[in-house]
Amino acid sequence: MKSVYLLIFILFCSSFSSAQERKLTGSEVPDDEGFERGDKTTSVKDDRDKPIISKYKIISISNDTTYVDTTLSIRKDYAYNYLRKDDFELLPFANVGLPYNELGYSFNHLNALPRFGARAKHFNYLEVEDIPYYEVPTPFTELYFRTVYEQGQNIDATFATNLKPNLNVSIAYKGLRSLGTYQRSLASTGNLRLGLNYRTTDNRYFVRSHFATQDILNQQSGGLTDRANQQFIDEIEEVQNRATAEVRLTNAETKLDAKRFYLNQFYNIRPGNDSTQNGQVRLNHILDFTDKEYQFTQGTANAIFGASFENSNLNDEVEYQNVSNTMILSYYQRYLGRIGFMARHQNLNYGYRTILVNEDQTIPNRLKTDIVSLGGTYLKEYKAFKLEGQAAYNITGDYDGYEVHGKASMTLSDSLQFAAKLDISSSAPNFNWILNQSDYKNYNWYNPDFDNVNTQRLEVKAESKVYGQVSASLTQIDNHAYFGFERTAEGAVTDSLVRPLQTDQQIRYFKIKAQKDFKYGNLNLANTIMYQNVLDGESVFPVPEIVTRNSLFYDNYLFDRALYLQTGLTFNYFSSFMSKAYDPILSEFAIQDFQELGGFYTADFFINAKIREARIYLKLENFTTLFQGNSNFSAPRYPYRDFAIRFGLVWNFFL
Whether residue 92 contacts residue 622, with contact meaning beta carbons closer than 8 Å, is answered with no
Whether residue 528 contacts residue 551, with contact meaning beta carbons closer than 8 Å, is answered with no
Q: Which residues contact 429 (CB under 8 A, 6 or more apart)?
A: 114, 447, 450, 453, 481, 500, 502
Give the model's confidence band at 488: pLDDT under 50 very low, under 70 low, under 90 confident, else very high: low
Give the model's confidence band at 17: pLDDT under 50 very low, under 70 low, under 90 confident, else very high: very low
> Amino acid identity, residue 210?
H
Per-residue pLDDT at 1: 44
Regarding predicted confidence, which is higher, 415 or 574? 574
Rounded CA gap, 497 and 488, in Å?
7
Lowest mean pLDDT among 18-22, 72-76, 266-270: 18-22
Whether residue 648 contacts residue 144, with contact meaning beta carbons closer than 8 Å, is answered with yes
Rounded CA gap, 192 and 180, in Å?
23
The answer to whether residue 16 scores a pLDDT higher than 80 is no
Per-residue pLDDT at 636: 95
Mean pLDDT, range 583-590, rounded to an integer:
97
Mean pLDDT, range 428-445, rounded to an integer:
97
Which neighbouring-strand residues pair with 416? 413, 464
Per-residue pLDDT at 237: 87
The answer to whether residue 31 scores a pLDDT higher than 50 is no
Mean pLDDT, range 248-269, rounded to an integer:
97
The answer to whether residue 32 scores a pLDDT higher than 80 is no
Task: Please list, residue by residue across 274-310, b when 16 or more beta carbons sit within 10 angstroms of its beta carbon and e when fewer do.
Answer: eeebeebebebebebbbbbbbbbbbeebbebbbebee
How many beta carbons lie within 10 A of that of residue 536, not counting itself?
Answer: 13
Helix and strand numbers (H, E) in the chain are: 5, 37
Whether residue 574 contacts residue 545, with contact meaning beta carbons closer than 8 Å, is answered with no
Regarding predicted confidence, which is higher, 406 or 109? 406
Per-residue pLDDT at 629: 87
Backbone angles phi, psi at 111, to 5 degrees: -145, -175
Rounded CA gap, 576 and 570, in Å?
20
Per-residue pLDDT at 490: 55
Lowest mean pLDDT among 46-55, 71-80, 230-239, 330-339: 46-55
Q: Which CATH architecture does the domain made up of 2-654 adopt?
A: Beta Barrel (2.40)
Task: Please list, residue by residue across 77-86, b when 16 or more beta carbons sit within 10 angstroms of its beta carbon and e when fewer do.
Answer: bbebbbbbeb
Q: Which residues contact 554 (CB under 8 A, 6 or more apart)?
A: 522, 523, 524, 565, 566, 567, 568
Backbone angles phi, psi at 542, to 5 degrees: -80, 135
Rounded CA gap, 440 and 347, in Å?
30
The answer to whether residue 11 scores a pLDDT higher than 70 is no
How far from each other are the two terminal CA atoms of the chain, in whole angstroms? Answer: 27
Closest CA to 285 of 299, 265, 303: 265
Rounded CA gap, 113 and 598, in Å?
36
Per-residue pLDDT at 22: 32
Mean pLDDT, range 575-590, rounded to an integer:
97
Sign of CA dihedral 477, 111, 582, 433: positive
- Residue 199, helix vs strand vs coil: strand
Mean pLDDT, range 481-494, rounded to an integer:
71
Which neighbouring-strand residues pair with 588? 583
Per-residue model confidence as pLDDT tens digits over 199-224: 999 999 999 999 999 999 999 999 99
Mean pLDDT, range 228-242, rounded to an integer:
92
Whether residue 534 contacts residue 508, with contact meaning beta carbons closer than 8 Å, is answered with yes
Mean residue pLDDT of the chain comes to 91
With a pLDDT cut of 70, the percent of the chain lying above it is: 91
Mean pLDDT, range 404-410, rounded to an integer:
97
Per-residue model confidence as pLDDT tens digits over 347-382: 999 999 999 998 888 999 999 999 999 999 999 999
Sign of CA dihedral 66, 69, 71, 72: positive
Domain range list for the chain? 2-654
The helix or strand, by DSSP H or E, that contains position 394, with its residue range, turns out to be strand 385-396
Per-residue pLDDT at 33: 33
Mean pLDDT, range 544-567, rounded to an integer:
97
Rounded CA gap, 219 and 296, in Å?
10
Per-residue pLDDT at 30: 32
Mean pLDDT, range 132-147, rounded to an integer:
97
Closest CA to 611 of 652, 562, 558, 560: 562
The helix or strand, by DSSP H or E, that contains position 229, with its residue range, turns out to be helix 226-234
The answer to whether residue 254 scores a pLDDT higher than 90 is yes
The answer to whether residue 48 scores a pLDDT higher than 70 is no
- Residue 233, helix vs strand vs coil: helix
Per-residue pLDDT at 43: 38
Mean pLDDT, range 396-403, rounded to an integer:
96
Mean pLDDT, range 620-644, rounded to an integer:
94
Sign of CA dihedral 109, 115, 121, 126: negative
Q: Write down the H helix ranges in 422-536.
A: 431-434
